[in-house]
Amino acid sequence: MQIKPSGSLSFHAKIQAMKSPLPLPRPEDHLSYQLHRKQVWQQILLPILLAVLILIAVIVLTSVATFRDNGEVGRWAAMSEIWLVIPLIVAGLILLILLIAIIYLVVRLTNLIPPYSYQAQIIFYRIESGAKRINKMARRPVLLFQELGALIKAAIEKARERM
């Protein structure tokens, strides 16, 4: 510890470098890395490969059934259309149910509004309609003068054309 003339203390420490670096383990040798590699194969790659193989099998089966001697292409087209429309119908039904639930909740919440809040809402609607009416009344003279100005300009233009 050193005391400076101004009365403050200052501390100094010296850190010595290590003589030899620690050997770092290879990631391949670590147990968690090995477990990760195993999980990547089991949980990601294997399901993707199985899905691709199933898709290829369905494509081959559909092609063989459709394009052989009596393939009945129209029937396969109708079946394909049904399978394409089913998800849209399910999504539409889910949205319809959600919309009905929202409407039901809004009706229930509207009935829960206290009477005084409802009266205050009516008062504010009246104030809003009054403000709109005043706005219209204030605009009428301005619009009237603009229309008169336009008529006068048109008359002057006509008079100039005649001369």
Percent of the chain whose pLDDT exceeds 90: 39
| pLDDT bracket for residue 21 (50, 70, 90) | low
Do 4 and 10 contact (CB within 8 A), yes or no? yes
Residue 143 has pLDDT above 80, yes or no: yes
Helix (H) or strand (E) holding 113: none
Predicted structure pTM score: 0.35
Question: Residue 70 in 3-state DSSP?
Answer: coil
Percent of the chain whose pLDDT exceeds 70: 85
Buried b or exposed e, range 54-86, using 16+ CB within 10 angstroms: eeeeeeeeeeeeeeeeeeeeeeeeeeeeeeeee
Residue 3 has pLDDT above 80, yes or no: no
Cβ contacts of residue 131 below 8 Å, gap of 6+?
A: none
46-67 and 73-112 are packed helices; what angle lies between their axes, rounded to 10 degrees? 130
- The pLDDT tens digits of the residues spanning 80-117 come to 899 999 999 999 999 999 999 999 999 888 777 777 78
